[in-house]
């Protein structure tokens, strides 16, 4: 498709402007997608500020955006609809990368850990290759998943983060009938609570503060701990008869929370860390890890987890509507980032 499109272009650090740029053309095996909605996350904000300068993005100008939904408008050369799960007109969501497909990690299915991810030319969309804060985006067909009509364009923009929580549940080998503590009721924390509940958690305790705890209750928490009012470890343990939870999910991005999460699980419990800590370190007790056999697990991205998250949302098992509160036009992208920075919005979403 010839022509130009509007895109939010990062021209310099802290300088994001809406510009007309050429609509990208899909190459072999690629698909042109009209973007419907694109969420903004903390990583995007950090990238705007130059927090990952030289790596994410590798150079300027750059188009951000990696949490999005859209509609297929054109199949690139070599693609046959008969071989795909979608066609022109299908509504889709996109993973951020496909992996190289050839390294040992990709071949084992862990393409989130592709060994070539830092090689020049590796395409991590929205980080090292053009993102979706634009009217159109090109992606390999292999990263796209169709979504049913039950998932709105706005809700579709949350599949990316939801799939990450599905991956976290798989990493801890989650079992139905268990107890979960979630630290940090941002988007990942709220989705973790909701997905854990849908997966059969019978006790879901969210640790945080302020009005986000109300939202946590709407999203499936049946207990909340306000860490400004009570010690978070004591609070979590009180809700489990003193025993500790089976699983703790740290979605806070604050390394000081990791020791709290470790102290909140029962003997043999598991702690999953979902948030990056921007280079800061955490002090943990090896004795607790060893004597109580605690599993401490890092969670990166969402390999093979999009279909499950789409099914959870499409069936109504996970309802993200309470989060869809802050929607902006592309010309308001600065305001959208402001709402993220001020913590007014859990997830500002740009509607295109």
Nearest distance, CB of residue 115 and Zn ion, angstroms: 5
132: CB partners within 8 A, 6+ apart: 33, 35, 38, 63, 65, 66, 68, 70, 94, 125, 126
The single residue among 99, 140, 235, 244 that binds Zn ion, judged by CB under 5 A, is: 99
Which of 23/164 has CB closer to Zn ion? 164
Count the site residues for Zn ion by CB under 5 A.
Answer: 8
Q: Which helix (H) or strand (E) holds 146?
A: strand 144-146
Minimal distance in Å, beta carbon 39 to Zn ion?
7
Closer of 127 and 270 to Zn ion (Cβ): 127
Q: Which residues contact 168 (CB under 8 A, 6 or more apart)?
A: 192, 249, 272, 274, 297, 299
- Near Zn ion by CB under 5 A: residue from 18, 73, 103, 327: 103
Cα(7)–Cα(22) distance, integer angstroms: 9
Binding window for Zn ion (CB under 5 A); candidates: 28-36, 73-81, 104-112, 255-263: 104-112
Stretch binding Zn ion (CB under 5 A), from 27-35, 39-47, 54-62, 147-155: 39-47
Would you call the peptide bond into 5 cis, given omega within 30 degrees of 0 as the criterion? Answer: no
> CB of 105: closest distance to Zn ion in angstroms?
6
> Whose CA is closest to 45, among 147, 110, 126, 139?
126
Our CB check for Zn ion shows the closer of 94 and 223 to be: 94
Residues 269 and 262: beta-carbon distance below 8 Å: no
The window from 22-30, 41-49, 163-171, 297-305 that contacts Zn ion (CB under 5 A) reads 41-49
Residue 152's φ and ψ, nearest 5 degrees, are: -70, 165
User: H helices of the chain, where?
Assistant: 42-48, 104-107, 153-156, 159-171, 187-198, 212-218, 232-238, 257-264, 286-291, 306-314, 333-341
Question: Least distance (Å) from Zn ion to the CB of residue 40?
Answer: 8
What number of other Cβ atoms are within 10 A of residue 351's Cβ? Answer: 15
User: Least separation, in Å, of the C-beta of 245 and Zn ion?
Assistant: 26
Q: Pick from 100, 282, 297, 324 the residue near Zn ion by CB under 5 A.
A: 100
Q: Nearest approach, Cβ of 215 to Zn ion (angstroms)?
A: 19
Q: Is 303 in the site for Zn ion (CB under 5 A)?
A: no
Nearer to Zn ion, 43 or 264 (CB): 43
- Rounded Cα gap, residues 85 and 108, in angstroms: 23
**Closest distance of CB 188 from Zn ion, Å:** 9
Measured at the CA of 150, the angle between CA 125 and CA 71, to 5 degrees, comes to: 40
182-241: which residues touch Zn ion (CB under 5 A)? none
Q: Which is nearer to Zn ion, 41 or 147 (CB)?
A: 41
Q: Which residue in the set 7, 37, 38, 41 belongs to the binding site for Zn ion (CB under 5 A)? A: 41
b/e sequence 109-130, b meaning 16+ C-beta within 10 Å: ebbbbbeebeeeeebbbbbbbb
CA angle 274/280/283 to nearest 5° reads 85
Supply the minimum distance, in Å, between the C-beta of residue 52 and Zn ion: 12
| CB nearer Zn ion, residue 119 or residue 280 | 119
CB nearer to Zn ion: give 163 or 213: 163
- Considering only residues 109 to 128 of the shown chain, the ones binding Zn ion according to CB under 5 A are 114, 116
Q: Which stretch binds Zn ion (CB under 5 A): 5-13, 37-45, 82-90, 293-301?
A: 37-45
Strands 179-183 and 144-146, how do they pair?
unpaired
Q: How many Å apart are CA 156 and CA 151, to the nearest integer?
A: 6
Closest to Zn ion by CB, 46 vs 335, is 46
Which residues are at the interface with Zn ion (CB under 5 A)? 41, 43, 99-100, 103, 106, 114, 116
């Amino acid at each position: 498709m010839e022509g130009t499109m509007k895109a939010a272009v990062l021209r310099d650090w802290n300088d994001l402007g809406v510009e007309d740029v050429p609509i990208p053309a899909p190459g072999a095996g690629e698909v042109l997608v009209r973007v419907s909605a694109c969420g903004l996350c903390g990583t995007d904000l950090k990238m705007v500020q130059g927090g990952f300068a030289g790596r994410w993005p590798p150079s300027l100008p750059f188009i951000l955006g990696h949490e999005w939904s859209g509609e297929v408008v054109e199949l690139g050369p070599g693609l046959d609809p008969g071989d795909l799960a979608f066609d022109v007109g299908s509504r889709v969501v996109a993973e951020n990368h496909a992996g190289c497909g050839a390294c040992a990690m990709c071949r084992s299915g862990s393409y989130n850990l592709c060994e070539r991810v830092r090689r020049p030319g590796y395409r991590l969309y929205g980080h090292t290759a053009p993102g979706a804060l634009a009217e159109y985006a090109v992606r390999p067909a292999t990263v796209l998943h169709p979504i049913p009509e039950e998932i709105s364009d706005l809700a579709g923009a949350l599949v990316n983060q939801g799939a990450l929580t599905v991956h976290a549940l798989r990493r801890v080998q989650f079992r139905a009938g268990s107890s979960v503590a979630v630290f940090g009721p941002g988007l990942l924390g709220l989705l973790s609570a909701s997905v854990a509940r849908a997966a059969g958690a019978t006790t879901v305790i969210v640790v945080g503060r302020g009005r986000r705890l109300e939202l946590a209750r709407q999203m499936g928490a049946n207990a909340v701990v306000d860490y400004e009012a009570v010690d978070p470890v004591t609070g979590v343990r009180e809700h489990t008869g003193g025993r500790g939870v089976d699983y703790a999910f740290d979605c806070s991005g604050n390394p000081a929370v990791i020791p709290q999460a470790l102290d909140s699980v029962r003997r043999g419990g598991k702690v999953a860390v979902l948030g990056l800590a921007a280079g800061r370190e955490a002090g943990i007790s090896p004795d607790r890890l060893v004597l109580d056999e605690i599993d401490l697990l890092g969670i990166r991205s969402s390999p093979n987890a999009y279909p499950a998250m789409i099914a959870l949302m499409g069936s109504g098992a996970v309802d993200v509507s309470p989060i869809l509160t802050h929607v902006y036009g592309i010309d308001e992208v600065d305001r959208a980032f402001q709402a993220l920075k001020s913590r007014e919005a859990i997830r500002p979403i740009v509607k295109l």
